[in-house]
C-alpha cells in the first residue's frame, strides 16, 4: 500500500471516554447537601431515600480518579452503605447496621496498617493513649444508661472505632481528621442510644461530621495508598 493510500484509510475510532467520572463528586456533594437539608427541615422520607446513596456516590468519586482505588477502601464504603441503610431501622436491623460499620472499620484499619501506620511509632502511641482515654471515659459514662442488650455491642463497636481512629491518625493528617470526625459523629449517636438529652440540631451535626469524616478518610486512603505504592 502506498503512503498516499495509507493516509486515506479511515482511522479506527477510539473507545469513547466515559463522562460519568466528571459528575461523581458533584453528585456526592449534591446528595449529601440534600440529605443534610432533609435532616434539618424534612421530610423524613427525603432523608431516608438519600442516605443509602451517599457512600456509593463517594465510592464512585474515588473510582473516577486517575489512580487505582484500593479494594479495602471500596469494601469499607460498602460496609458503610450497609450501616447507613440498616441504621434507618430499629431493633435487630440496627445491630446489623453496626456490624456493617464494624466491617468498614476493620477495612480501614487494615488499609492504614498496610500504609505504615504501625511504623510511625510516635504518632501511633500518642493516638493510642489519647483515644484509649476517650474510649474508657465514654464507655464508663454510657454503660449505666444503655439498654442491657446494647451494652456489649456498643462497647465492642466503640473500641473498634477508637482503633480505627488511632490508626488513621498514625497514617496521616487527612485520615486522622477523618477518623476523629467519624468518632465524633458516632459518639453523638451513642448519646442518643443512652437516652441522653441531645441539643436541637444534633442529627444535622451527626450527618455533617459523618459525611466530612468519610470524605477525608476516603481521599486520605487514596493518598496514603499511592504513597505506599510509590506513585
Q: Does residue 16 register a pLDDT over 70?
A: no
Q: What is the pLDDT of residues 48-90, one digit of tens each?
A: 999 999 999 999 999 998 788 999 999 999 999 999 999 999 8
Cα distances (Å, whole numbers) of residue 10 to 6, 13, 141: 9, 9, 74
Model confidence pTM above 0.95: no
66, 51 in Cβ contact below 8 A?
A: no
Averaged pLDDT for residues 104-127: 95
Q: What is the pLDDT of residues 163-217, one digit of tens each?
A: 999 999 999 999 999 999 999 999 999 999 999 999 999 999 999 999 999 999 9
Q: Does residue 109 register a pLDDT over 60?
A: yes
Averaged pLDDT for residues 106-120: 94
Other residues' Cβ atoms within 10 Å of the Cβ of residue 103: 18
**The pLDDT of residue 225:** 82
**The pLDDT of residue 7:** 47
User: Binning pLDDT at 50, 70 and 90, where does residue 27 land?
Assistant: very high
Q: Up-side HSE of residue 88: CA atoms within 13 Å toward CB?
A: 17
CA distance 23 to 178: 23
97, 112 in Cβ contact below 8 A?
A: no
Would the CA dihedral through 142, 147, 148, 154 be positive or negative? Answer: negative
Question: Residue 144 carries which DSSP code?
Answer: G
User: Binning pLDDT at 50, 70 and 90, where does residue 91 land?
Assistant: confident
- Which set of grid coordinates corresponds to residue 192? 442518643
Averaged pLDDT for residues 34-42: 96
Amino acid at each position: 500500500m502506498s503512503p498516499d493510500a495509507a493516509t486515506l484509510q479511515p482511522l479506527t475510532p477510539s473507545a469513547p471516554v466515559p463522562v460519568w467520572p466528571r459528575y461523581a463528586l458533584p453528585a456526592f456533594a449534591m446528595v449529601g447537601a440534600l440529605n443534610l437539608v432533609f435532616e434539618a427541615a424534612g421530610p423524613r422520607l427525603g432523608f431516608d431515600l438519600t442516605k443509602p446513596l451517599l457512600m456509593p456516590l463517594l465510592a464512585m468519586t474515588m473510582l473516577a480518579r486517575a489512580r487505582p482505588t484500593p479494594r479495602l477502601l471500596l469494601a469499607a464504603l460498602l460496609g458503610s452503605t450497609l450501616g447507613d441503610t440498616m441504621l434507618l431501622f430499629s431493633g435487630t436491623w440496627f445491630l446489623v447496621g453496626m456490624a456493617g460499620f464494624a466491617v468498614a472499620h476493620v477495612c480501614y484499619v487494615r488499609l492504614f496498617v498496610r500504609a505504615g501506620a504501625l511504623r510511625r511509632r510516635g504518632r501511633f502511641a500518642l493516638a493510642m493513649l489519647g483515644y484509649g482515654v476517650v474510649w474508657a471515659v465514654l464507655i464508663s459514662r454510657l454503660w449505666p444508661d444503655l439498654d442491657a442488650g446494647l451494652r456489649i455491642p456498643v462497647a465492642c463497636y466503640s473500641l473498634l472505632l477508637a482503633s480505627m481512629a488511632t490508626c488513621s491518625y498514625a497514617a496521616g493528617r487527612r485520615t486522622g481528621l477523618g477518623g476523629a470526625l467519624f468518632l465524633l459523629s458516632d459518639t453523638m449517636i451513642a448519646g442518643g442510644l443512652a437516652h441522653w438529652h441531645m441539643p436541637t440540631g444534633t442529627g444535622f451535626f451527626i450527618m455533617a461530621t459523618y459525611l466530612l469524616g468519610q470524605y477525608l478518610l476516603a481521599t486520605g486512603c487514596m493518598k496514603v495508598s499511592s504513597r505506599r505504592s510509590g506513585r
